[in-house]
Chain A
Amino acid sequence: MASAHARDQVHDIEIGARRDGTMLAVRDHIWVDFGAYNSWGIVLPYNTVAHLLGPHRVPNLQVECHGVVTNKTPNAPYRGAGRPEAVFAMDRIVDLLARELGMDPAELRRKNYLAAADLPYEIDLPYRDGNPLVYDSGDFRAGLEAALGAVDYEALRREQAELRARGIHRGIGLSGYVEGTAIGPYEGATVRMDASGRAVVATGAASQGQGQETSFAQVAADVLGIPIEWVTVIGGDTAAIPFGIGTFASRSAVNAGSSIHVASGRVRDKLVAAAAALLEAAPDDVEIADGMASVRGTPASAVPLGRVIQASLPTFARAGAVDADFEATVYHHQPTVTYTSAVHVACVEVDAGTGAVRLLRYLVAHDCGRLINPVIVEGQIHGGVAQGIGGGLLEEMMYDEQGQLLTGTFMDYLVPTAMEVPDIETVHLEYPSPRNPLGVKGIGEGGAISPPAAIANAVEDALAPFGVRVTRAPLGPSRVLELIAEGAARLAGRGGSA
């Protein structure tokens, strides 16, 4: 528990807008708690700054950020890596603005979210890879509409009002993010066929359980024209490929996937040339599918790829028809990130008597470009959302005044169980990335970005009659009761109405 911490930031954020809700400017002063050792430079706070405006059109931004060294465990990137903090600050101030203007938070976002016609959209700030920060693809307003439609927002608001009259406090919280995924500059791949037509894919990326053995095999198999079972994926072995970077920052599908895609394409070209020689056909007339090569329009000509490969080897009688080199290594260049986006909706019911928050529903409408494997994508989203729910309601690194970590066991550091995570509803939108040959984007982290913000917004929405203002996560019962007490004092000071 004491190896590293994350998410510890304080934001002093202001937003300026016209009365009609058009956002004009954001000013944010950020303090980042680095802990005792800053091993990561400004990676995390820079991510926060770069992702602060998210899907909103805001022409003016001023940010000042201080990293503070404290007697705690070091701050380190943790799923979302600075983006959940940005989104929490922004989505909170947006909801406060909505309340100030008397607008529904969905309506205020609708008015300010960028749409497809606005992209590519440049924010005048370099991304941390030094390249211009340009949202390359997506439609954030469409994502918002998709989320609101899927959750039936209007019906939820009606139900909320009915239940409110009976003293039951339900809340709906929105959060939207735009995420720069798949930082480069490369993740190479070697694709190599053996004499039977099986392929080995070696890449620097190593799987941590996100199913790269499947998704990478899919990419290779699709291009090579062989069954997916014929592909073996080797990750992170320098004996298999000498140069690599690794799996983090939601980068492998894009970086490794692209290298695998291009390398497989080159191997396929070689297979085609060899098959053309063997089948005495023009390369353009050669088809490869299911591990077989054939001449278009002549199914009887089909031969197994193994035979194609073996036929290219020299015999005593003759030289090989082509070089028996069915291997390619590609280091696809990925200069900068590609942008995913999502809108999350959290529905909660808050027990104003005990402070207990029940998460009733959670919905994600997201774009991560083309999906290689929908099952794996959903798994990543669910896992990320569960961690985000932890951040919104349960997980906290607590220290005493002497810097002693108090939450050093699983009895105190509260990881969500199956009772705290509801069924997670997902809506997939697809805006292919123009920045890589697969059109894919990273999805490893997105699920974790929005939940604390969506939950905070939902709780504040549920407790609106109590004058509650949520300024931090997680929201346990004791904290919620404190917020209600503070809200009561605030209302009393203001003469009684929220």
Chain B
Amino acid sequence: MKPAPFEYHAARSAAEAVEVLARHGDAAKVLAGGQSLVPMLNFRLARPGVLVDINGAADLDYLREADGVLAVGALVRQRKLERWAADRAPLIAEALRLVGHVAIRNRGTAVGNLAHGDPASELPALLLCLDGAVVARRVGGERLIAAAELYLAPLTTSLAADEILAEARFTLPPAGAGWGFAEVARRHGDFALAGCAALLWLDGQGRIAGARLGFFGVGSTPVRGSAGEGLLLGLEPTPARLREAAQAARGGAVPRRGSARDGRLSPAGRGVLAERTLIAALERCGSRP
């Protein structure tokens, strides 16, 4: 199908974009990569009266690393972040490798994916796992939203109608941290039926100083496996402990919502994924900075 007609604004800066949003509020949608929004327009699942295209807002196109935090501007394409992260943040690169296909990642933006908030998406879970936050900007200012406060329901974030997601911040894992990433998808590049990202780092005595578990495709939002993380801290990592943590983190059965691609991998399957990512994270611990 073809989209319903809309008023089109090509913003040349972030300031211009939020100004249009302020004027139109609920009736306006932000267009960045378009890989999530344009299909919805084509199906007429979304019929915004106004489209604010930020592809010309050069001030939103930046990738900065400082003090262990990676700041990703709204216009950074997934492919660009994937290439940057290949050596510097392999967990992010691996997650992005499984987002759609190259043609999607050449246009799709990382921040756009985060703003879209599909519970089966990799990046929102990564944001949670990496103690991330986003910068929401509106006319008159901006605010920081922690990842844990960003996702409310499927495709629903706590962004207000007059805000754009201008930047995402990922706290990069400490030197020596190991990572693991696994998902189950029907086909390569599909949304995950379930997936897990894990980070582990050890102290000087070989005990777990930090653990992170993030799940996607397991409910209506990405989920932190905090219960599992808590079981690991301060202890030596043994296979039994990793399994116990995975089981604690995996969560219960997800009620079927009626969508064909619902993340319905059973809790047992999720537990397996979590365990495998923890094992992989442990194997990578301390191997390189």
**Residues on B with beta carbons closer than 8 Å to the beta carbon of A420:** 187-188
Q: How far is the CA of A478 from the CA of B186 in the complex (A)?
A: 10
Q: Which of A398, A411, A478 has the most CB of B within 10 A?
A: A478
Q: How far is the CA of A482 from the CA of B266 in the complex (A)?
A: 8
A409 touches B43 (CB 8 A): yes
If the complex has contacts A406-B259, A485-B266, are A476 and B187 also in contact, measured as CB distance less than 8 A? no
B190 touches A414 (CB 8 A): yes
Q: How far is the CA of A274 from the CA of B152 in the complex (A)?
A: 86
A414 touches B264 (CB 8 A): no
Please count how many residues in chain B sit with their CB below 8 Å of the partner chain's CB atoms: 21
Cross-chain pair count, CB within 8 angstroms: 61
Q: Is A416 an interface residue (CB 8 A)?
A: yes
B260 touches A355 (CB 8 A): no
Q: How far is the CA of A396 from the CA of B186 in the complex (A)?
A: 12
Q: How far is the CA of A481 from the CA of B193 in the complex (A)?
A: 12
* Distance of A355 from chain B, by nearest CB (Å): 6
If the complex has contacts A406-B259, A478-B193, A478-B264, are A354 and B273 also in contact, measured as CB distance less than 8 A? yes
Q: Is A168 an interface residue (CB 8 A)?
A: no
**Residues on A with beta carbons closer than 8 Å to the beta carbon of B258:** 400, 406
B256-289 interface mask toward A, CB cutoff 8 Å, 1 = contact, 0 = none? 0011110011101100110010000000000000
Q: Is B248 an interface residue (CB 8 A)?
A: no
Q: Which of B43, B186, B189, B191 contacts A476, CB < 8 Å?
A: B186
* Distance of A141 from chain B, by nearest CB (Å): 37
B187 touches A477 (CB 8 A): no
Which residue of B is nearest A355, CB measured? B269
If the complex has contacts A477-B265, A481-B268, are A354 and B184 also in contact, measured as CB distance less than 8 A? yes
Please count how many residues in chain A sit with their CB below 8 Å of the partner chain's CB atoms: 25
A477 touches B269 (CB 8 A): yes
**Residues on B with beta carbons closer than 8 Å to the beta carbon of A412:** 259-261
Q: Is A298 an interface residue (CB 8 A)?
A: no
**Residues on B with beta carbons closer than 8 Å to the beta carbon of A419:** 187-188
* Distance of A489 from chain B, by nearest CB (Å): 13
* Distance of A400 from chain B, by nearest CB (Å): 5
A414 touches B273 (CB 8 A): no
**Residues on B with beta carbons closer than 8 Å to the beta carbon of A407:** 260
Q: How far is the CA of A407 from the CA of B261 in the complex (A)?
A: 9
**Residues on B with beta carbons closer than 8 Å to the beta carbon of A485:** 266, 268
| Residues of chain A from 416 to 462 with CB closer than 8 A to chain B in the complex | 416-417, 419-420
**Residues on A with beta carbons closer than 8 Å to the beta carbon of B272:** 353-354
Which residue of A is nearest B272, CB measured? A353
B260 touches A406 (CB 8 A): yes
B261 touches A354 (CB 8 A): no
Q: How far is the CA of A442 from the CA of B67 in the complex (A)?
A: 68
* Distance of A483 from chain B, by nearest CB (Å): 11
B260 touches A398 (CB 8 A): yes
Q: Is A356 an interface residue (CB 8 A)?
A: yes
**Residues on A with beta carbons closer than 8 Å to the beta carbon of B261:** 411-412
B33-73 interface mask toward A, CB cutoff 8 Å, 1 = contact, 0 = none? 00000000001000000000000000000000000000000
Q: List 6 A-B contacts (CB under 8 A).
A: A354-B265, A400-B258, A406-B259, A412-B260, A481-B268, A481-B269
3 residue pairs, one from A and one from B, having the closest CB atoms: A353-B272, A412-B260, A419-B188
A-binding residues in B (CB < 8 A): 43, 184, 186-191, 193, 258-261, 264-266, 268-269, 272-273, 276
